[in-house]
Amino acid sequence: MRKAFTLIELLAVIGIVGMLGVAAAASYGALVTGMRDRSACAAATAVLREACERARIDRLPTVVYCYNVCLKESKADDPGRVVGLMTAIRRVGRITQVKGRYLFDEFADLDQSYRKVEDEAELREMDGFRLFKYNDESSVQSRMQYSVVANAVYCKDYGSKPGEEGELTIFSGGINNRTNFFTSAFYNLGSSDREPSAWKVGDGYAAEFAELQLPEGYVFGQQLPTRSGAVSEVKAIRFDPDSSSSETVEIWMTRPNAQGVPKPARKAGQAYADDRKKV
C-alpha cells in the first residue's frame, strides 16, 4: 500500500501553488492600482462638481486651477518630488482703492469677515492666504495671478477731505460729506518673492474655497516642473452661473527615471468638469 507522495509529486504541487500565488499577486496589484487611479480621478472630479454647484448657487463665476509644483528638500542632490494640486476660487469683490500695500474694497464689510488689526508691523509678521486676480475670462485662462494677504485686515479711521492724514478717494454717494470714516483693507504681503503684486483700481479679486492635492505619484498632465517651486501644466476650468463646462483634465501616474527625476509613466484617467454620467 502506498503511504506517501513522491518527491516529483511534491515538487509539482509546490510549482502549481507558486504559479497560482504569482498570478494572484499580479491580479491584486492591478486591483490596488486601479482603485488608486479611480480614487484620484474621483477626488478631482468632486472639486470640479463643487465649483460648478457653487457658481450656480452663489450666482458668481468660479474657476478651478489644475497644476503641478516641484518640491525639494534642502539637500543639493535632492531631485525633488512633483505634486499635483487643484485650487478652486470664487470671485467675491473688486478693488476700489490701492494705497501702497493696502487693498480697499469699500463695498465689502471686510472687518466683519476677518480679524481686525491696527498695527501694520503685526500684519507684516503674519502668515497669509492667497487673494487671486479675476477680471475676465482671459485673465484666468493665462495663468494664476495672486498676492498673499495677511490673515487679518487693517482697520482705522481715514479722512475723506483733501489734505487730511490718511485721505482716501471713495465712491459711494454722500460719504464724502463726512470728515472721517472707518474702513478696512487687505494688507498685501506680496507674491512668492515677498514683493507686492501690481493691483489696480477696478481689479476683481477671488478667494479660494477648495483645494486638493493628488495622492503621491499622481499629477495633472504630462508637463512637469524641473525647478523647485516652479509651476507647470496650469489648466483653468471656468464655471458660469447659467452654463456648464464639459472640459476634462488628464491625471497621470509618475515614475522616477534613472536620475530619480519623476516622469509621467501612464495615464491614470480623467476628471470631468460637469458630466455626472461619466463618473
User: Over pLDDT 90: what percentage of the chain?
Assistant: 30
Residue 193, pLDDT > 70, answer no
Burial 86-119 (b: 16+ CB within 10 A, else e): bbbbbbbbbbbbbeebbbbbbebebbeebeebee
Helix, strand, coil percentages (3-state) for the chain, rounded to 5, are 25, 40, 35
Average pLDDT over residues 77-82: 72
Pick the closest to residue 51 from 253, 252, 244 (CA basis). 244
* CA pair distance 240, 169, nearest whole angstrom: 33
> What does the domain layout of the chain look like in residue ranges?
1-86+211-279, 96-202
* CA pair distance 169, 97, nearest whole angstrom: 7
180-190 vs 152-159, strand pairing mode: antiparallel
So what's the pLDDT on residue 110?
A: 85
| The three three-digit cell numbers of residue 107, written as one number | 463695498
Asked whether the beta carbons of 106 and 170 are under 8 A apart, the reply is yes
| The three three-digit cell numbers of residue 277, written as one number | 454620467
| The three three-digit cell numbers of residue 263, written as one number | 516622469
Pick the closest to residue 208 from 106, 103, 110, 64 (CA basis). 64
pTM of the predicted protein model: 0.77
| The three three-digit cell numbers of residue 27, written as one number | 491580479
So what's the pLDDT on residue 157?
A: 60
* CA pair distance 118, 124, nearest whole angstrom: 12
Residue 271, pLDDT > 70, answer yes
- Across the chain, where does the E strand assignment appear? 62-71, 81-94, 97-99, 102-104, 115-117, 128-133, 146-150, 152-159, 180-190, 204-213, 218-220, 231-239, 248-256, 262-272
| The three three-digit cell numbers of residue 184, written as one number | 478696512
Q: Provide the residue type at 228 as one letter.
A: S
More reliable by pLDDT, 143 or 193: 143
> How confident is residue 279, by pLDDT bands cut at 50, 70 and 90?
very low
> How confident is residue 89, by pLDDT bands cut at 50, 70 and 90?
very high
